[in-house]
Amino acid sequence: MFTGIITDVGKVCAIEKKGDTRIKIETSYDTDDVAIGASIACSGPCLTVVEKGPGWFAIEASAETLDKTALGEWKVGTAVNLERAMRIGEELGGHIVSGHVDAVATLTDMIPEGDSVRFTFEGPQEFARYIAPKGSICLDGVSLTVNEVNANRFGVNIISHTQSATSFGRRQVGDRINMEIDMIARYVARLLGKD
C-alpha cells in the first residue's frame, strides 16, 4: 500500500529486454535500507526490487505490466516518481493507493493558473464513472484531487511544489500517464452493482 506522496524522483539509467524487461533506476534512497523483494511504486505501478547497488535499484516488468501501463514507453533518462511502501504508523498524507494501475490517461491540455497549472486528461471511457469532482485519483503515482469531470476528461490542479517534487514539471501535452482510480470509488460501484 502507498499514499501517493512522492519521496524521490528517480531516473531510468538502463533497460534490458529479454524474457521480462529489467529496468535500472537511479535514486537518492539509501539502498542499504531497501531490501531485495521490497515493493516500490514507480510512477504508479507497485514493482519488486530484484537487484540493487549504491544509488540504484532494478525492477522487472512483465509483458502484462508493459501492456497495461506507460512503462513500455520509458527510455534511459525518463523521470520516475518513487514512493516506498507505507509502514504502519506512518502519516497518510495522500489517499490509499494500491499500486495497481487501472489504465493509461493522455494529457490533453495544460493551462497556467497563477503559480499552478491545470492539467486536463482523457482516460478510457469505462473508467469515467469512477472519477468524481473533489474525489481522489492517482496519476503517475501522485495522489491528486479531481477538479472537474466532463465525460471521460478530467482536470487536476498541479501546484508549484508538486511540479518541482514530481515528474509533472517535465510533462507535455500528449504524454501518457499511469492512472489508478480511487479504491473507495471502485468498491462503492461494486456494492451498488454498477461494476
Q: H helices of the chain, where?
A: 63-68, 160-165, 183-191
Cell 504502519 sits at which residue? 88
**CATH code for the domain defined by 8-84:** 2.40.30.20
Arithmetic mean of pLDDT over the chain: 93
pLDDT at 195: 61
Please state the three-class secondary structure of 98-126 as a single string. CCCCCEEEEEEEEEEECCEEEEEEECCHH
Which 3 state secondary structure label does DSSP give 180? strand
Domain ranges in the chain are 8-84, 103-191
Give CA–CA dist 162/111, Å, rounded. Answer: 15
pLDDT in tens, 15-58: 999 889 999 999 999 999 999 999 999 999 999 999 999 999 99
pLDDT in tens, 53-112: 999 999 999 999 999 999 999 999 999 999 999 887 777 777 889 999 999 999 999 999
Domains 8-84 and 103-191 share a fold: yes
Cα angle for residues 101, 107, 2 (degrees, 5° grid):
30
The alpha-carbon radius of gyration of the chain (Å, integer) is: 16
Beta carbons of 158 and 146 less than 8 angstroms apart: no
* 82 backbone dihedrals φ, ψ, rounded to 5°: -120, 140
Select from 52, 46, 58, 22 the least CA-distant residue to 34.
Answer: 52
pLDDT at 185: 77
Topology given in CATH for the domain delimited by 103-191: Elongation Factor Tu (Ef-tu); domain 3 (2.40.30)
Instruction: Give the global pTM.
Output: 0.93
pLDDT category at 194 given cuts 50, 70, 90 is low
